[in-house]
Structure 1
């Protein structure tokens, strides 16, 4: 009789355990990352001075290099760009398109489908030169794909352990940036989960209510042995190291940050309305570009016409902050700030013009000096592939 009672109780316990939803991540036994004691650098936007687009493009950077991508394969919306050995890798339409340094199309990595070694969506990718592979992330399938860096062929897949749209391999660990519900744990959800490719290792940053309905933005950026991470709507830029440690590096101080509402459960549309009508702002996670001597960051703002980014340049050497007055052309120029910035390398920034033909008004208004950019705009037409741009901060 005692044995029967024990079996019955054990069965009930096992049944209750099995009622957890698929993909459930239990954080009870996970350690948090170790926080290091480091001095946090404040970037106070209220102290910014206005710097015109022309002043910045002429006095703070070297001659830009423009790369017109050929139109042999039409690109859709660009999700991510990286560069390796003078080739550009561009994520668009769930495919990775590869162009050489002059913009000539080389090949496409495309394994979209429902079969073996095929993905449903390709949210993110990371180039790992030492391993000679490209990692691709499919959070729908909860898979990490491995593509040959040399040939582009799929070398196999591995389970992502926890479904996340964005992940980086830093050292021997995988750092996953989660959205609310990715882990199927709605009572104890976290923004960062670390795995070793086989099991969960650590957690960090309990998910505040305001992020539960946040719109997805790529908020992880790889820097060799560490990654920077900006929680959605947060003012703080964190560094996550390859040894399970982290520290806050920058705090971007704003006049009216939406992060002040972090403990309120606010839907994305409400956040959008607050930006448009109440002058709230937030640090754009995908537009924090740190180079060796400077940072270009984007602040998400709103008005009656919608949402946009206001750009700032932070001089890391002189500790000066400037508001970049972009999109205003008062005098003749030969340089234009890009539509979007994508990544940095050493002291250089890389970005692109989504539709360079929209700048033809500069030719009509006689506001553009003759040169390479002039010729690209003159010969452009709507529907052309984007134009990439590379520029380096002056020493």
Structure 2
């Protein structure tokens, strides 16, 4: 799709939220929206968790780094536990810090060593781990572990040779249907993790030449990249889903690098669309919603896909811009926090 087709055809409505700059965010490591609260994790620069209301007003900053019983040594990942309605922040020291949705400390629970995690009911956690990270504890090499406190209670998804010795990426994705989706590394299948600790396939992303075709071969990083540069593709680990659309990405060659192309699958008409950055933006065609930055979504909120961008003033082609977007951009300076774009897609678009 061209820019014009995406913004005026596939996008049904769009609005923006400027996050308050009362406390500066260095980088958004994770963004989640739950019960009209916006949660931002800055894991590496500010090393804090920021909580905003839906208008971007700052409600709370979690800055509990230290050595005390109610403090974390160093921030890990952040998640909302929808079962207990708690904000959970991982501490690399081996525990989870539990907060209320307004950011008040409640308690902590123990954790097993992991790369990524996702909380479920009864203080249990799904854990994504590296190859051989806990081989002795599980008597096998599994990518997915279920734990409670520091005890492993179940295992699944034994590593394929292709998945050994690779950089782990976050395989967990909570959708707007209340489901937890899981994608094993390089796999073409999106699984749904069910509450009784079983799983089932939900989507299979078919590709003409998939890297997953080599699942039974142990390849080096260079060998995997060479395949991608020679026409193979790979499903990305980040997927998002609401009632009407399923968003996924496909990694493939673009000029001299490998990039992820964002696709939107319309569940009603069973068609996939993607924004083609090589198609020229036709400035002569009027845009009903005005021009705005197209950024890959990082989370969902009800019927909306949500992305983040850094506001930067601009003076060219301002007559083409969305008025709300233009106001945010031209009000920015070097101390302005990121802004969010919310866009709802049109189910009738063909």
- Bin for the TM-score computed over the shorter chain: 0.7 to 0.9
Consecutive unaligned residues in structure 1, runs of 5 or more: 1-50
Moved more, 235-244 or 72-81: 72-81
Shift of 1:107: 1.9
- Change in Cα spacing, 1:384 to 1:197, as seen in structure 2 (3 Å) is same
Q: Determine whether 1:167 maps to 2:117.
A: yes
- How far apart in 2 are the matches of 1:225 and 1:387? 26
CA distances 1:37-79 after superposition (whole Å, capped 9, x unpaired): xxxxxxxxxxxxxx22322222233321111123222212212
Matches within 5 A, 1:1-395: 51-93=1-43, 94-128=47-81, 131-138=84-91, 140-150=92-102, 152-160=103-111, 162-172=112-122, 173-185=124-136, 188-197=140-149, 199-223=151-175, 226-275=179-228, 277-286=229-238, 288-303=239-254, 305-326=256-277, 328-331=280-283, 333=287, 334-353=290-309, 355-357=310-312, 360=314, 363-365=315-317, 368-369=320-321, 371-381=323-333, 384-395=336-347
Aligned to 1:31: none
- Structure 1 residue 342, shift from structure 2 partner: 1.5
TM-score between both structures, scaled by the size of structure 1: 0.76
Tell me the CA shift for residue 203 of structure 1.
Answer: 1.1
Q: Distance in 1 between matches of 2:329 and 2:144?
A: 43
Q: Mark the CA change 1:273 to 1:143 in structure 2 (over 3 Å): closer, same or farther.
A: farther
User: 1:316 deviation in Å?
Assistant: 0.4
CA 1:145–1:181 in 2, change beyond 3 Å: closer, same or farther? Answer: farther
How many residues align? The count is 336
- Give the CA deviation at 1:115: 4.0
Name the CA shift for 1:378/1:122 in 2 (closer, same or farther; >3 Å).
same
Partners of 1:226 and 1:242 within 8 A in 2: no
Contact in 2 for aligned 1:146/1:156 (Cα 8 Å): yes
Contact 1:53 1:336 (8 Å CA) reproduced: no
| 1:203/1:301 CA distance change after superposition, 3 Å | same
For the pair shown, the structure with the greater C-alpha radius of gyration is 1
Q: For 1:253, what is the secondary structure of its paired residue?
A: coil
In structure 2, the gaps of 5 or more residues are none
Aligned to 1:10: none
Seen in structure 2, the aligned counterparts of structure 1 residues 137 and 60 have a Cα distance that, compared at 3 Å, is same
Inter-CA distance 337–297: structure 2 relative to 1 (3 Å threshold): farther
Per-residue deviation, residues 77-127 of structure 1 (Å, max 9, x unmatched): 212111123221011124211122122222211223344343343332222
TM-superposed deviation, 1:187: 7.6
Normalized per residue, which structure has more helix?
1
